[in-house]
Chain A
């Protein structure tokens, strides 16, 4: 009896240790990139992706209306950032997503005695790839988290045949679709493979495919429909974050664990898993070519999903080889993928920072700009109050038609857009060039304060007086006509 009690106590102590470790290890792992990222964000570093989301979140925050989103971005990361729209919060969300992912990996590894999964936690998630996701692409970290969970439950469905797991996989895929459009092709591909392991006839195959795909389709459909309701056009939220095509070769070089896992499955004749991994590979080829994910995301997706699909029972040799592959992968990542020094701010960033800080002191709706191209400045301003946004609003339309009658400044970027194209070559009437740097141009109204004189006091003292004019209203920005300038100074 006494020995039983001792054994039980020891068992409970082990369980507690496991619980503590599963919480502690993820925290320890994400702490360095989190600190680095926050330090960089506070110093002025802002990745392009974070800037785009932040600009959008600031606009929603300033107007208090979520209906003003441009519908170009995956909504879930955007909603998260809107809760507290600060540059460092993007880093925090990224860190949280990867920490939670690590927690699941540890939990699964311990529960099923999967040493490879446990080894993957430090070797994959403590790497420059994860650093980059946290510090520069939090939306991908969030998407990776949901895609992994969907894949995890998909794997459990494949193994056990329990429909509840497909339910959970489907729901996660739906959330993943709100975090990244990658979820839809992944769901479509996942649906293709279950029949190999559990042949239940053609009906089972097709409907199983529908069960996995429907939630992701629903998410994408819902978002598209909502975009159509609010803007008249269907969502194009893959366009929001366009990246360069990822080199497939580079991604494969950085993912030896995937290739080794595939070989192990072939050697152990686990054909359903081989098929699933092959589908995953096709998926990654699509991702790489389409350029809708960064290299870090592509490699981590390939590696994590590749490991997760491996069976619980593996021979000792296979486990050894897989862990070796993980070590090689970690070494390759550290050698080939540099961690940018997020605390070193370039001159361009410094310039952006200064202009944005100055504009931040202006009153409401003093600057006309298209935030789809000048999102970095808007994000760095820390508030969307000084800008006339959104671009499909009535106020924007009026300011666009006659800036002199509405705003003090016009901020342009070299990228094409209706506003940029209209005023790039032709200075708005009553304005002159205040500043040009990099790809930006800032026009100032003649009577407005120069940038170097702007401070809180002067803004308070000098209230703008705009002439009253009438502008024909237009329903949407997409239908915005190029109007003659009705005001002559």
Chain B
């Protein structure tokens, strides 16, 4: 989708007049106009938009000025009586495209709120839409008013669309249905088979199970090493260089939307505004949509109190179930004007060059490249044991694993934040699945299924690592549950998956998305006999025939060792040297994973769509200095 035209469309002759008008009215200073004109020469953006983004003029003042200049009345839709049948007749997408909101009809005159001077094409289209209307009366309003009016008028359809769009368009790809009948039957059959085998041949069953578990681990470890080796290449070939970033011209930059879903984040929303202000991107080409839930007035108040610049818009998400981040993002997607779009979390600190690097990667990449993932890491890694281990894990995942999947052209589950999209392709994919609690991972897989690709950009977003065990368990159990959901969704018809993405990609998906929760669930089944054997010298041959012992020994010694080593390398590469020895403590950290995995498994049956909220801001403004 092309960036929606600015709300301050004026002719060259009027442009000077707009500046003069604002100066004469005392709304801006002459030097501010001068500076905005200089900026306009660089970016090619409209004067009003630059003034707004620079914070030199208030939105309301600007549009009132335009209404004077255009000699049209001004209307605040928030205070107007809206005849809902009128906008409903032409529909939300057309209103967004035309930037014209028909809001009243008295049988003779149709009143239309506009943010741009109506072009002949717009006027003609309106006449065609309302052939009985004899007279159109245009009134200037702000684009925020139009967005607000749209949310009010189309509230129910927006809720429905942001919740069920994927389910309605591609029901087989939605996690709305957790298990299909076939999956239930298969699962029940496997459980029954296990019980029957256990009854008739307990030893053989245990042996078969232990072999299965060990083979799963062996293959998973081998897969991760291969992918990591491929991912190590990214260090030698930078996807985007600093020189490429420097060569970008501001006037060539497209409109970019940032989606910021926040919920109960009143304590950090102000900080978020500060973090985003450091982004190296022209503000007039940047739209920041803060998605705030209706039942969270504290965050809204805190956000307002932070006095955000004028390119920040608050989008209130109507209170409805499921109350999940993907649903909020889907709603935000309706209002996104950017050609590109990125998601950040409330506590994110993206590197300033990230938008530009992602953009360059899109430009350099194949047209099939629809999403670019930035690396994630933590700014509070030295806070406590948990944050250290989390940093080790993330460094490995984002610096080795995801680049490896990229290099090998394998399906890539996206990380929860810093996902940059081509907005039109994201809409084509029907946005995020609100019923999937790792909607990001699922979206990456769905993109792969349509032969779209995911790129990895060498720019990092720093987040806050979870520092409390309970909070960590909540977050991790949600992630693991989401991986389970994603696996269930895409294995409803395994043969179709193989046909669609190919055997290699399907196997990679099984190993990565299905294998991750599976290994966490199975790990205790290996650890328990091992610990019993170590401490009590129990006879393990009942469970493990000799050849299974070899695989188990390999997994225990080499597999775990390699996993630890990859973690070491990842933090070494990030120059977090003091974290390297902590990699040796990974086995203790993995216990927590297994606990979270079992919690996730229980929730999959009891509360599949429940979004375990992660509390942010627990470490205050603690930042690692090492």
Contact = CB atoms under 8 A, between A and B. Distances in A.
B574 to A, nearest CB: 9
Contacts of B221: none
Task: Report the interface size class on chain A.
Answer: 20 to 34
Contact of A211 (B232, B236, B557, B568): B568
B549 A67 contact: yes
B235 A162 contact: yes
A166 to B, nearest CB: 7
A211 B571 CA distance: 11
B524 to A, nearest CB: 20
Interface string B575-599: 1011011000000000000000000
B610 interface: no
Most buried by B among A65, A167, A225: A167
Contact of A222 (B232, B561, B565, B569): B561
Contact of B565 (A67, A162, A218, A226): A218
Most buried by B among A66, A163, A201, A225: A163
Contacts of B572: 163, 166, 207-208, 211
Given A211-B568, A218-B565, A163 B546 contact: no
A388 B554 CA distance: 29
B548 to A, nearest CB: 11
Interface in A54-89: 65-67
B569 A163 contact: yes
Interface string B228-269: 010011011000000000000000000000000000000000
A203 interface: yes
A479 interface: no
A26 to B, nearest CB: 25
B550 interface: yes
Contacts of A208: 572
B558 interface: yes
B565 A214 contact: yes
A109 interface: no
A311 interface: no
Contacts of A215: 561, 565
A170 interface: yes
A168 B232 CA distance: 9
A164 B234 CA distance: 9
Interface residues of B, number: 24
B568 A164 contact: no
A210 B580 contact: yes
A199 interface: no
Nearest to B569: A167
A170 B565 contact: yes
Interface string A152-180: 00000000001110111010000000000
B94 interface: no
Contact of A210 (B235, B546, B558, B581): B581
B553 interface: yes
Contact of B580 (A67, A211, A229): A211
Given A164-B236, A207-B577, A221 B557 contact: yes
Given A166-B569, A167-B232, A218 B580 contact: no
Contacts of A28: none
Given A167-B232, A207-B577, A208-B572, A225 B565 contact: no
Contacts of B607: none
B573 interface: yes
Contacts of B236: 162, 164
Contacts of A164: 232-233, 235-236
B300 to A, nearest CB: 44
Contacts of B561: 214-215, 218, 221-222
Contacts of B549: 67, 229
Contacts of A211: 568-569, 572, 580
Nearest to A218: B561
B86 to A, nearest CB: 62
B235 A163 contact: yes
Most buried by B among A66, A67, A162, A203: A203
A344 to B, nearest CB: 42
Interface string B530-562: 000000000000000010011001000110011
Interface in B433-455: none
B232 A210 contact: no
A136 to B, nearest CB: 30
B559 to A, nearest CB: 10
A416 interface: no
Nearest to A161: B235
Interface string A181-211: 0000000000000000000110110111011
A203 B568 CA distance: 13
A111 to B, nearest CB: 14
A167 B549 CA distance: 28
A222 B558 contact: yes
Contacts of A163: 232, 235, 569, 572-573
A204 B575 contact: yes
Contact of A229 (B232, B235, B553, B569): B553
Contacts of B573: 163
Contacts of B581: 207, 210
A8 B316 CA distance: 62
Contacts of B550: 66-67
A42 B49 CA distance: 87
A66 B550 CA distance: 9
A427 B224 CA distance: 58
Nearest to B578: A203
A218 B557 contact: yes
Interface in A404-426: none
Most buried by B among A67, A162, A214, A225: A214
Contacts of B565: 170, 214-215, 218
Contacts of A207: 568, 572, 577-578, 580-581
Nearest to A203: B577
Contacts of A226: 553, 557
Nearest to B577: A203
A214 B568 contact: yes
A201 B553 CA distance: 37
Interface in A75-132: none
Nearest to B579: A207
Nearest to B574: A163
A166 B235 CA distance: 12
A221 to B, nearest CB: 7
Contacts of A162: 235-236
A319 B161 CA distance: 73
Contacts of A225: 553, 557
A218 B558 CA distance: 7
Contacts of A221: 557, 561
Contacts of A168: 229, 232
Contacts of B578: 203, 207
A221 B553 CA distance: 12
Most buried by B among A65, A207, A222: A207
Contacts of B558: 218, 222
A218 B565 CA distance: 9
Sorted nearest first, the 4 A-B pairs with minimum C-beta distance are A203-B577, A164-B232, A222-B557, A207-B580
Interface of B: 229, 232-233, 235-236, 546, 549-550, 553, 557-558, 561-562, 564-565, 568-569, 572-573, 575, 577-578, 580-581
19 contacts: A67-B549, A163-B235, A163-B569, A163-B573, A164-B232, A164-B233, A164-B235, A167-B232, A168-B232, A200-B575, A203-B577, A207-B568, A207-B581, A210-B568, A210-B580, A211-B572, A218-B558, A222-B553, A229-B553
Given A162-B235, A218-B558, A221-B557, 17 more contacts: A67-B546, A163-B573, A164-B232, A164-B236, A168-B229, A168-B232, A170-B569, A200-B575, A203-B578, A204-B577, A210-B580, A211-B580, A218-B557, A221-B561, A222-B561, A225-B553, A229-B549
Interface of A: 65-67, 162-164, 166-168, 170, 200-201, 203-204, 206-208, 210-211, 214-215, 218, 221-222, 225-226, 229
